[in-house]
Amino acid sequence: MCGRFTLTADPVDIKEAFPWLEVPAEMAPSYNVSPSQPIAVVPNTGENKLDFFVWGLIPSWAKDPKIGNRMINARGETVAEKPSFRAAYKRRRCLILADGFYEWHKQPGDSAKTPFYITLESQEPFTFAGLWETWYSPDGSEVKSATIITTEPNEKIAQLHNRMPVILSPNSYDLWLTPNEVSADKLDPLLKPYPAMEMVFHPVSRFVNSPANNTQQCIAPVA
């Protein structure tokens, strides 16, 4: 599962990491991105433009948008089959920008779980594999939403959790972002754990447990 993440890089650093991407001139850093909040996505519309969608996929057929609260993640092993995700997997894929994410793990002798902050060793921004949808409310207003695909963990993340988000390598972006329909047999090989040797993590304060907290304290290492 991936239930919280960060995007703290400023637009200049994001543009440097993704030179092909149209990036807004101003973006506020977020140290505690939580479900139902706006997340930075690149949908496969062919525009290579950064946009902001609600985190929590709302299928087009949904009667109640609150279903999105249960759709923040999609399991890579079943994403091609589940009614909530299979159409988006074929036709509506996106990159979700991040530079770190959190997992909670119960330490020996501790009564509560400790949050850990996980990043690439390079500390550079990266992208989760995502899916997106457009939902129309009864009054005709439009809501664009997205979900993060997860997979089994690599050997490093397995120390903390039994799932991890799919982090896509740059050489997979063209296929993932093609506006054309793509079959599962071509996409499934991309849904794999990111190399453990390129990732690092450290424990952080339970300050991050509250979605209301969104400062550098969320990612600061603790003993």
Spatial separation of the C-alpha atoms in residues 43 and 116, rounded to whole Å: 29
103 tagged catalytic: yes
Residue of 2, 94, 133, 218 with catalytic role = 2
Residue of 16, 26, 47, 103 with catalytic role = 103
Cβ neighbourhood burial of 121 (10 Å; 0-12, 13-18, 19+): exposed
- Tell me how far CA of residue 60 lies from CA of 56, 84, 118, 198, in angstroms: 13, 9, 33, 37
218 tagged catalytic: no
The catalytic residue positions are: 2, 103
